Each structure stands twice: as C-alpha cells, then as structure tokens.
Amino acid sequence: MDRLAKLSEADKEAFSIIKSELERQEDGLEMIPSENFVSKAVLEAMGSVFTNKYSEGYPGKRYYGGNQFADEIETLAIERAKKAFGVPHANVQPYSGSPANLAVYFAVCKKGDTIMGHNLPDGGHLTHGWKASITGQWFNSVPYHVKEDGYLDLDEIRRLALEHRPKLIWVGATAYVREFPFEALGKIADEAGAYLVADIAHVAGLVIGGAHKSPVEHAHIITTTTHKTLRGPRGGMIMVTEKGLKNDPELAQKIDRAIFPGLQGGPHDHTTAGIAVALGEDLKPEFREYAGQVVKNAKALAEGLMKNGVKLVTNGTDNHMMLIDLTAEGPGRGVFLQNALELAGITVNKNTIPNDPSSPFYPSGVRLGTPALTTRGMKEVEMQKIAVWIADMVNEIKKYRLPAEKSEIGGYVKNFREEMKGNAVVNKLRAEVLGLCKKFPLYGSLMR
C-alpha cells in the first residue's frame, strides 16, 4: 500500500507539493555536497509514531512519563554512534549541526573567550566564529585562512594559536576539498592549551567508512550533522573522545547539560529513530564500499572537469566535494552557472572561493559533490559524462557578466534565467540528464 495514501486523500494540495519534490529529486542530479538521499527505512523511521512523543531529559532521566521506548531508541542511536566512531560518549539530541556547535561553546567557553576557526570566505562555517553569527559576536574570534594554493595554512594557524591562546580551535569546514590535518591541528591545540573541536559534518560518513582520516585520537570534542555523507535524517551529534575526557573528566556531562537544559527542550524522537536506523546502515560492510565510491567518484568528476577546461580550487579533491573557480571570465559568476545547471536538472550551489573578488551574495565559485549521485549507484563512467555536461555549461555562460551597478544585478540575473529557459544547450542537456536519471531510479514507487 502506498505509504502516503492517507495524505493524498486528506490534503491533496500538500500531497501534490511533496510529489513534485519527489519528482524533482528523481529526475535531476543532486550535486550539492551537503545533501544526500536517505533509505526508505530511514524515511519510515522519521515518519513513525515517535513524532508524537515528548522526552525532555536523557534515557532513564526524563521529565515526562511513557518514555520507556523513547529511551530504547535513543540508547540504540547512542551505542551505534559510539561504535561507528570509536568514542566513549555521544549525544544524539542536537536538532542540527549549528545547535550542536553552540552547545560546545556553552559547555567549555564563557562569553568573550578567544576562539579560532576556519575563515568563512575561505571555506569555513558560520558557527566557527564568523562575524554575522552569534559565535563571532559573543566570542573573540580569530579566523585562520588557506594559502594561495587553497590548502590550510598550518604555519599561520600555529602562529595565531600561540599568540592568542584561544580556549578552543575548530577544525572543519563547509567548502574545503582537501583532507583535514587532524593530527597537526591536535598538536597545535595541545601546544596552545586549547580544546580542539572537529566539526566533521561534511565528512562524517567518509570517516565511518574509512575514506577519510578520523579525528578521534586528536580532537577533544567532535560535532557532526547526521545527513550529508552519513546519509541519515537532518539532525546533529556531539561526541567526546578519550582525549577529551582525559583533559576534563566532566566534559561529557558538560556537553549533555549544554544541550539540555542549556539550549534545547525535548529531543525530536522521530529524528533520533532515523539517526539510529542510519547509523545501523553505516555499520554494515556495504557502507564502507559506498564511502570509498563517493571519493572515487569525486576524484573522477574533478579529473573530468579539469580535463575539459574547468578550473578547480586546489586542482582537485580528497573528499566528496570540489569548488569550481569561475573568475577567469570575471567575478561573481557562480549565480549564472548555478541557475543554468538547475534549468538543465543539475542542482549545485554558488559559493565563495578563497580570496573571492566578489561578495558572498554573488560569489565567483560553485560547490558540487558526489554523495547523492553515489547513493543512486552512479560510478566513474557517469562522472566523466557529467563532467562534460558541466564543462559545456561553463562555456555556454561565458558571455554573461554581473553589472557594475548593484541595483542592476537582480534584474540582470532574472533576465538571464528567463533567457536560459530557451537555450538550446540547456534544453538538450535537460533531456540527457533525465535519460541518465531513469537508469538510476531513486525511490521508485514511493508515491505512485
């Protein structure tokens, strides 16, 4: 029986919108590296009766009755997280990655403390101390950067750490295409007397699958989302390592208190159920194969793009993502490539590149990756084909430039999108993308 049959009867309008989103995902190439497709089992757990329950507190220490099974599902998720990452403590209640990161500050810092993180325009994350975030306003944020070649500047990080003696140092990013040097940063943090917090939101699944180095031996605290490469629902986790407990035996309790009652109320039990199911999948041998294939696909895609004349930041990738640098034809052109590819059925996102000559609103790069394509079963052969398609679109938009007057940009981009709807290259590519997607079905008869 169709699992959404009741919805189709009860609310045809909402059902129609959800069906349209399913068709968008089925019939397009999802290449935003922070997105993925969960299994039908995870979807079912997310839509389970756990959505009805309220469970303030932790297993065995709830403020509401009737939580015996909520305790069981949360304990299951915790134990699977500890096993997957090899850590002694895990908290699976954060609503997402940003709340998890805020809880770390709340647990180990006081307002005004000095912190260090990867500079946002260089590929870092808002919650690592960027000026627009509360983390950059409540704390004395000292950002570190990448070098001209796009790799982290370890010499600068060490110099800044010893000069400013931060309370904590973040390692992790939202747009960094090389493997994180956890060991080197762990030594720097130790030398500076700082907590090292590894935000592995993007590479968590690769870490579990052995396709990326683990931070467990080098960091005191680990945060992550549970979607992206981990391939679960949209949630978060915080883990404390043996190194963290050795530094502060009460660190796990501080983290737990920071989440509840410090920042959150009751956990989303249906999300916890989905996390438990996803982690169960991650612990199976086939997930290790998946993680390895994600990286193989990313390397193949990067190689194909460069072979076809597309410039990439650092000239390649070590993980699941890459950054296209479009500055050769002028600054701020990421919006053109994003829009053109979307019309053709390929979803990517405009993104800043290191030393971007344009603004974050109209950046000069595009971020793309392979987790969702790999979930569908695509491999290196498909990556080579997709690389040619993207390169063709890069060439197709070369003549477009952002107006010098800011007031004219919005209208120009809108007109560009309308013009591209009738573009022959876009429409030809849309048909080819659809043909490829039909060979790699996603959910099949989920709503049909």
Q: Which residues are catalytic?
A: 54, 56, 199, 225, 228, 234
Could you say which DSSP state residue 318 is in? S
- Outline where DSSP puts E strands in 76-167: 89-91, 114-118, 140-144
205 burial (CB, 10 Å; 0-12 / 13-18 / 19+) is: buried
H helical segments located in 143-257 = 154-164, 182-192, 204-208, 242-247, 251-257
d(Cα 363, Cα 352) in Å, to the nearest integer? 5
Task: Give the number of C-alpha atoms closer than 13 A to the C-alpha of residue 206, restricted to the C-beta side.
Answer: 28
b/e burial code for range 23-37 (CB count within 10 A of at least 16 → b): eebbebbbbbbbbbb
For the chain, report the end-to-end CA distance as a whole number of angstroms: 10
Contacts of 410 (CB under 8 A, 6+ apart): none
* Dist CA 425 CA 69 (whole Å): 55
* H helix intervals, 193-284: 204-208, 242-247, 251-257, 269-282
Residue pair 274/46 in contact (Cβ under 8 Å)? The answer is yes
Torsion of CA 298, 303, 305, 311, to 10 degrees: 100
Can you tell me the distance from the alpha carbon of 56 to that of 264, in angstroms, rounded to the nearest whole number? Answer: 9
Residue 64 CB contacts under 8 Å (≥ 6 apart), including other chains: 54, 55, 56, 57, 266
Q: Whole-angstrom Cα distance, residue 387 to residue 17? A: 31
d(CA 294, CA 207): 12
Spatial contact of 373 and 304, defined as CB atoms under 8 Å apart: no
By the 8 A CB rule, do 318 and 177 touch? Answer: yes
The answer to whether 367 and 175 are in contact (CB under 8 A) is yes
